[in-house]
Every structure is written in structure tokens, then in C-alpha cells.
A and B are shown apart, each in its own frame.
Chain A
């Protein structure tokens, strides 16, 4: 895109330090009307700090922020809103108990003769929704009844209600199912057509390439490069981000002799969400589980971990029949489960790193060799998985997603599990931490654990798995060997002949 006359947003030489640590250093960036400008970089690269500066959450130590040519010094989110900058956070800022209209107008309800004008509120909400192509959403619906994708639409309408000209989207697809991502694409394009500029932060490079006009890469608080999306490719981008080739992402698969005896067998098992599941999981292998959202992948892991147990069928572990009635019995049988929803089910945000890592062991197993010994062991594990934290006593909510996930891993490793279930182990985690998690998963398999890994990230699923089973409608639709293609997985997942997964409009 050639240089437009007046960019919506111009950042020059932005710098920011926290407690003497430089988080941002001389960052330049601009966004033109109707442009999608993607910002990529590992966690800790400074993306979120930069977004907070643009949206008024932090004040920069150095540099200038200009909106449509006018210099700004935001003192808070309200100032940024007034200047026409809206931000869609990864976690939605919506009230589930209130209606769509009430949420969209929260904080600036239209008032007539001193009273809230509900009719105007509904009308304006309808108009806003229609303007971004959403006509089915009723303004009177309680937000809590909406799906994630629709809630995102409400968030966007809420930003537009304040006349946002620049929208920041922080990992907008992290919470979306695959088919909802397509809807978001359409939404982004309509926003573009309205001349709204978008700052798009994402870990998913596919999206970045599908949507953006330009890409800025941040690394260690500095801007590495800004390139037109058409002039670059994934490999280049990853090199800029981590200084590493794409192929080195995934550790080597298991050799032909490595998978050992069958550890876990499931025969004819089912519950409300699963039917007639047959499965063999060997020691030393990574079994990938693919399928669409809602196909029963997570239900399978949750059944094996006893969260929503199987109601029919048999499960054996190392040849002995087991009944996995609750997470507690599953843990006692040697099964560990790294959940998909890390914030909700994986960590206790306000407890320390150490307490989080000790959680499962303390809850289920008496300390055979003493509490101190157990804590020592967990500390060693935390070091072994390379958790980066200010200390073991730091509250885990202050860690990055990748480091939180490592703590969750350490928690399970302390129990020496025989079977490990991973549900989206790298969702919302930056590229560098991702490959560390991948290495860990593989190392666990190498040490003799049986690993079942659910992933929506097809390159990850294909790159990590020794075998892949694909689920559809609560059943196992088929099995694929290592070396299968994305098309193979998708064909099984949707249940018809191969077709390409993403249509890239360029």
C-alpha cells in the first residue's frame, strides 16, 4: 500500500520501561484508514505494551502518538476512546446478564429528558450491527446467551458505538471455533471497507497472511521490520520473529522401535457426547487427535480424565480394566490432563507458581517422602521446564501464557503420569514458548509416557503426531499415519472428499 496522505495512527519512537526494564524502544508504526496492520512477535516482544499505549492504558516514556495527524497524550482508556480508538480484548469486556443494547451503550447510554432512552438504544444497536453485516442478532438478547463469535460482534459494535476509527484486535480468534474464524474474516473486511483502520495482533500466522495489508514484527521491544504482506512469506516472518527456520519447529518423531506396548485401550466407549469410541494408545507415542470444534475431541479427553466419564464401554490401562469416574480416580490411575482452557481450568491465578505446580499432587497424593522433598522435586521440575518467573512465590497470573503452561506441565510431571492428555497445549502461546512445549511433549513420550494431543492447529497436529485419529460427531472418523496432509485431516473431519481448508483471497 503506498503512503496515504494522513495515517489514522502514527507512532514515532515509542519507548517504555517498567522498573528499569526496557519493554519498548523506539518503535515506529502507522495505520492508514481501511488498512489491516498486523503486529506479530513472541510474547515479551512488547506487543501488548504497545497496544496498551495506543489504547490509553499506559503512557509512553518516549515518543509520540498521533491520531489523524493530531498529537495525543492519553491519560486513560477514556481519552483514547474519545480520540476514536477502540480495543477488542482477548477476554471480552461484556456483561453476560445484560442485553446486547445495554452492553453496546454501557457508559454512554442515550438520554432523553434525563432518562435512558431505551428505544434509541435498541435502534442504534440495530443500525450498528447492520452496518457490520450482522442482522440476526437481536438487541434485546442477553449477551450471556450468545456464542463467542456473536459476543465478539457485540464487542466490535460497542467500539463502533463510540465512533472508533481505529480498532485494536488482540488475538481475536483465540476463542473462536474454526468456522467462526471465517465470520470474523468477513467482519474485518467490512470494517476495512468503512475506512476503519485495524491493528491486528495474533499468534496465528495464517490469519495474519489472510487478512493483513502490512505486518510489523516486534522482537525484544524493538521493531524488526514492517513489510507489505504480499512481499513476504511465513518462513521470512518466523525468521524475523525468532531467528529460526520454520522446519525446526517440531522435534523428531518417534523412531520405528520407540512406541512400546499398548498402554491405554478404549473399546466401544461412549457418553452423551461420544459414541462407540475405540482407541489404542501406546507408550512412547504421541497420538494426535484432530477434528472440528465440537466433534468430541475435548469430550474424549474429559472422559478419559473422568471429568465427564464414559457411561458405556471399557477402558484398560496397562492391561488392567479401570473405571475413570472422577479426575481423582484418573490421576490415581496415572493419567494427567492439560486442559484447553488454561485460565479457567488450568491455573489458580492468584496462587504462586509453586502452589500451582504442587496443586494436583497435594490434592490427591499424600507426600510419601515429606512435604519439603515434594516441594524440592517440583522446584527442580519448574527449573527443568524453564519457567521464567520472578520467583516460585510470584502469583502465576503475572506470567505469560507460555510460562503458565510450563507450570501446568510441571504439576503433572511431578506425578510421573503414564498417560498424558493435552488439549490445545499451545493455544495462545507465542512461537518461542510453543516450540519449548513441543520439545517437552516429545521428551515425555521418549521417556515412555503415552501422549494424546488434541490440536486445532493443523501444522502442529501434523508436525507432532506419530499417528492421528480424526473425530467427527462424537465418533472416531478415521486414523492417519505420520506424514498425512492437512487435506487428509480436513477430509475426515468434515466427512467428505478432500478440499482445501483455507481459501486465501490473494
Chain B
């Protein structure tokens, strides 16, 4: 199979990359005028680190949203995963692999619960995953007051701080995960069926797709991604952190990145490449404002405007497509 035929034939460059390029160009200029330098080593590295953390979550979030579902529990899964990983490692490199495995297994378990609630028990995804998230919050709040455990030094040195030039290992991990997910969506039955379930569950069912199985799988994968993000954050922080997920707003930010990336919130349309664009856009805005040292409140306002504008643009486009 030649590399060329792997490329999606008809999809144009998602608009989010145009927006990203514009943002970076304008940001670079503004920072330059301000007397700074946007693309110096330190800012680039920190931008890519921010993007890696959010990106790992958002790739998983893309899967469930494509399938017409949603996952609000990711922030708590992240926190839980940092703790499970760091406490199991307890500062030793020997426990690295079992700890990673356990953190991912726990995450997958949460995903399975989410998936079963959404499919078998027909609980609305918003409510089901919010409920599971609160459940985890209760556990975390009552058992932890602050950082716990210690991440294995090997993991901190590799996933946490290792770089190839200005590109952190974690960002390469994100790119690999994105590639694998893109491939799964376009070239496996699971991918085709997931998009079908999100597009129209009834059509999928009548075409012989096992909707429930597909959605449960998507939820498990989403939670696994969140668990992976947790392991990454543990490697950055050096310990487990019971509130890192919620303080980082990973639930809403990941959904925002997915939507900015052009995936329809109702499911059935979009993809993981756009999501990475959305993640980079959010991370760039962050980096630019950090450079300019603007007020955090103003930064939030701008992010809000970007999210709303993105959704409005996509809605208009959908309207034009639907018009006849």
C-alpha cells in the first residue's frame, strides 16, 4: 500500500490550521512589538508540553464525541491516574511498568463503567459521565489532601523532560497516538462503525452495526487516553496530584479542542487531526498571553471568544451545506 493512498482523498485542510497559523503569525508580531520572542526555545517547549497533556485527553474525547457521546469524567480520571501511577511506583524504577499498567487498567475500568451506563442503562452521556466523575471526586477528596506517591525517576527523565530538539517526547507520543487513532478511524471497522453510530444510531443499527459494543469501546479508549495523560502529568509533577485534572480544566478544554477542531458535538463528523489543531490553537493562545503577561481573566475571555467563534463558523458552514 503506497503512502499516497493512505491520505484522505477529499478532505480539505481543516479550518482550524488556518486559524492556528494566523494566531501564531499575529501572536509572533505582537510579542515582537512587545519586545519578546514567541518562538524561543523555552516558550516553544512549554507550548508543546501544554499541548501534549491536553492533546492526549482530547484525542480520546474525539472518539466518544464522534460516536455521539461525551466524557465529562476525564478530569477526575487524570487525577486518579496520576495517583495510582505515582503511588505504585513509589519512587522506584522497578515498579514502572506495573504502575503504568495499573493506572491504565483503572482508567479503562472507569471507561467501561461510563460505556455501560451510556449503552446498557441508557443514561444520557452528559449525566452518566458527570456522575461517574463526581464519584471519583468523592473518592479523591476524602482520601487525599495533597500530592502523594513519587513518580519513578526514569519516567520523569524520559516522558517528563526528554526532548528531541525543541520537541518533547510527550508531544511525539501525542503525534503517534493521533496517527494511530486517525488510522483506526479511517481503516478499521471499528472506526467506520463509530462514525456511523454517531451519525445516526438507527441507521447504524439497521445496517448491522452493534452500536453498544462500539460505544463502550470508544468510552474505554477515551478513558485510556485520559489515563495516559495522567501518567504524563505524574511524570511532569514527580508525584500524584489529586486535583491536577480539575485544576487544568481538562474536561471542558478537551471538549473545546475537539469542537474547535471541527468535530460535530452531535457526532458523526470530524476527526482527530482537527482536534490536534484545536489543542495547538488553545496552547498557542496560552503561550502568547503568557509572553505578554496579560491578566488571566482577559486570557479566559479570549479563549471563550475563540471557542464560540469556532462553533459559529462551523454552524454556518453546516447551514450552507444543508441549504438547497
The 5 closest A-B pairs by CB, nearest first: A107-B208, A107-B207, A95-B199, A106-B207, A97-B269
Partner of B204, one of A99, A106, A115: A106
A140 adjacent to chain B (CB < 8 Å): yes
Q: Which residue of A lies closest to B199 (CB)?
A: A95
Give the residues in chain A near B9, CB-CB below 8 Å: 140
Q: List 30 A-B contacts (CB under 8 A).
A: A77-B206, A78-B208, A93-B200, A93-B202, A93-B203, A93-B206, A93-B207, A94-B203, A95-B195, A95-B196, A95-B203, A95-B268, A97-B199, A97-B269, A98-B199, A102-B192, A106-B192, A106-B203, A106-B208, A106-B209, A107-B196, A108-B208, A109-B189, A114-B188, A116-B187, A116-B192, A118-B186, A140-B9, A142-B10, A144-B322
In this complex, which of A96, A102, A111 has the most chain B Cβ atoms within 10 angstroms of its Cβ?
A96
Q: Interface digits, B189-220 against A, CB 8 Å rule (1 contact, 0 not)? A: 10111011001101110111100000000000
Closest CB in chain A relative to B278 CB, distance in Å? 19
Give the residues in chain A near B189, CB-CB below 8 Å: 109, 111, 116
Closest CB in chain A relative to B241 CB, distance in Å? 39
In this complex, which of A81, A116, A158 has the most chain B Cβ atoms within 10 angstroms of its Cβ?
A116
**B10, A97: Cβ atoms closer than 8 Å:** no
Closest CB in chain A relative to B242 CB, distance in Å? 40
Q: Interface digits, B151-189 against A, CB 8 Å rule (1 contact, 0 not)? A: 000000000000000000000000000000000001111
Q: Interface digits, A90-133 against B, CB 8 Å rule (1 contact, 0 not)? A: 00011111110010001111010011101100000000000000
Distance in angstroms between the alpha carbons of A95 and B204 in the assembled complex: 9
B5 adjacent to chain A (CB < 8 Å): yes
**B321, A144: Cβ atoms closer than 8 Å:** yes
**A116, B196: Cβ atoms closer than 8 Å:** no
Q: Interface digits, A298-321 against B, CB 8 Å rule (1 contact, 0 not)? A: 000000000000000000000000
Give the residues in chain B near A114, CB-CB below 8 Å: 188
Give the residues in chain A near B208, CB-CB below 8 Å: 77-78, 81, 106-108
Give the residues in chain B near A145, CB-CB below 8 Å: 321
Distance in angstroms between the alpha carbons of A119 and B9 in the assembled complex: 12
B interface residues, Cβ below 8 angstroms from A? 5, 9-10, 186-189, 191-193, 195-196, 199-200, 202-204, 206-209, 268-269, 321-322
Total inter-chain residue pairs, C-beta < 8 Å: 64
Give the residues in chain B near A118, CB-CB below 8 Å: 5, 186-187
**B187, A115: Cβ atoms closer than 8 Å:** yes
Distance in angstroms between the alpha carbons of A93 and B203 in the assembled complex: 5
Q: Which residue of B lies closest to A110 (CB)?
A: B189
Give the residues in chain B near A108, CB-CB below 8 Å: 208
Distance in angstroms between the alpha carbons of A145 and B320 in the assembled complex: 12
Q: Which residue of B lies closest to A99 (CB)?
A: B10
Give the residues in chain A near B206, CB-CB below 8 Å: 77, 93
**B192, A96: Cβ atoms closer than 8 Å:** no
Give the residues in chain B near A96, CB-CB below 8 Å: 199
Give the residues in chain A near B5, CB-CB below 8 Å: 118-119
Q: Which residue of B lies closest to A158 (CB)?
A: B207
Give the residues in chain A near B192, CB-CB below 8 Å: 102, 106, 109, 116
Closest CB in chain B relative to A58 CB, distance in Å? 14
**B188, A106: Cβ atoms closer than 8 Å:** no
**A95, B209: Cβ atoms closer than 8 Å:** no
Give the residues in chain B near A115, CB-CB below 8 Å: 187-188
Distance in angstroms between the alpha carbons of A98 and B200 in the assembled complex: 11
Distance in angstroms between the alpha carbons of A109 and B190 in the assembled complex: 10
Closest CB in chain A relative to B41 CB, distance in Å? 40
Give the residues in chain A near B10, CB-CB below 8 Å: 99, 140, 142
Partner of A107, one of B188, B191, B204, B321: B204
Distance in angstroms between the alpha carbons of A258 and B208 in the assembled complex: 58
**B187, A106: Cβ atoms closer than 8 Å:** no
Known: A77-B208, A97-B268, A144-B321. 12 other contacts (CB 8 A): A93-B203, A94-B203, A95-B200, A97-B269, A106-B203, A106-B208, A107-B204, A115-B187, A116-B188, A116-B189, A118-B5, A145-B321
Give the residues in chain B near A95, CB-CB below 8 Å: 195-196, 199-200, 203, 268
**A107, B200: Cβ atoms closer than 8 Å:** no
Q: Which residue of B lies closest to A55 (CB)?
A: B206
Distance in angstroms between the alpha carbons of A109 and B189 in the assembled complex: 7
**A106, B202: Cβ atoms closer than 8 Å:** no
Q: Interface digits, A401-420 against B, CB 8 Å rule (1 contact, 0 not)? A: 00000000000000000000
Distance in angstroms between the alpha carbons of A115 and B203 in the assembled complex: 22
Would you list which residues of chain A between 68 and 96 have a CB under 8 Å from chain B?
77-78, 81, 93-96
Closest CB in chain A relative to B310 CB, distance in Å? 18
Q: Interface digits, A218-261 against B, CB 8 Å rule (1 contact, 0 not)? A: 00000000000000000000000000000000000000000000
Distance in angstroms between the alpha carbons of A144 and B10 in the assembled complex: 14
Give the residues in chain A near B204, CB-CB below 8 Å: 106-107
Closest CB in chain B relative to A453 CB, distance in Å? 24
Give the residues in chain A near B200, CB-CB below 8 Å: 93, 95
Q: Which residue of A lies closest to B269 (CB)?
A: A97
